[in-house]
């Protein structure tokens, strides 16, 4: 299980700190998971693909303690992301799509 504190991947201004390489790829994956799992508009954006197998979209939900837990149904890689609240990718306050 990958246990991630999102703030470890962000710089002082709140944007992704790593600019290239594996650290940037995993940071991007984590912020994509946060945006997907925190979006209050269901099914608006597709789930990110697993960073490990790259074959399937991950499943992600907010846990009782407000961490985001995710899992790949294909390769069974899983993770937990904390301290995502208030980041640029926290979409809980996004207005719903008119419909």
Kindly report, residue by residue over 51-61, the tens digit of the pLDDT.
999 999 999 99
Cα dist from 45 to 5, 41, 81, 83, whole Å: 23, 9, 19, 22
Count of structural domains, the chain: 1
Residue 22: inside a domain, yes or no?
yes
Residue 43 lies in domain: 2-82
**Is 99 inside any structural domain?**
no
Written as six digits, the tokens of 55 are 């074959």
- Residues 21-80 have pLDDT tens digits of 999 999 999 999 999 999 877 667 789 999 999 999 999 999 999 999 999 999 999 999
Examine residue 39 and state whether it is found in any structural domain, yes or no.
Answer: yes
Q: What is the pTM of this model?
A: 0.91
- Residue 37, classified by CB atoms within 10 Å of its CB into exposed (0-12), middle (13-18) or buried (19+), is buried
φ/ψ of residue 4, rounded to 5: -125, 135
Note the pLDDT of residue 43.
66
Q: Rounded to an integer, what distance in angstroms lies between the CA atom of residue 93 and that of residue 86?
A: 10
């Amino acid at each position: 299980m990958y246990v991630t504190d999102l703030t470890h991947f962000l710089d002082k201004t709140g944007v992704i700190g790593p600019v290239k390489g594996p650290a940037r790829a995993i940071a991007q994956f984590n912020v994509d998971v946060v945006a997907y799992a925190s979006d209050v508009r269901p099914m608006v954006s597709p789930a990110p693909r697993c960073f490990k197998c790259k074959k399937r979209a991950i499943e992600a939900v907010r846990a009782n303690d407000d961490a985001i837990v995710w899992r790949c149904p294909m390769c069974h890689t899983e993770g937990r992301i904390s301290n995502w609240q208030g980041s640029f990718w926290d979409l809980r306050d996004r207005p719903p799509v008119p419909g």
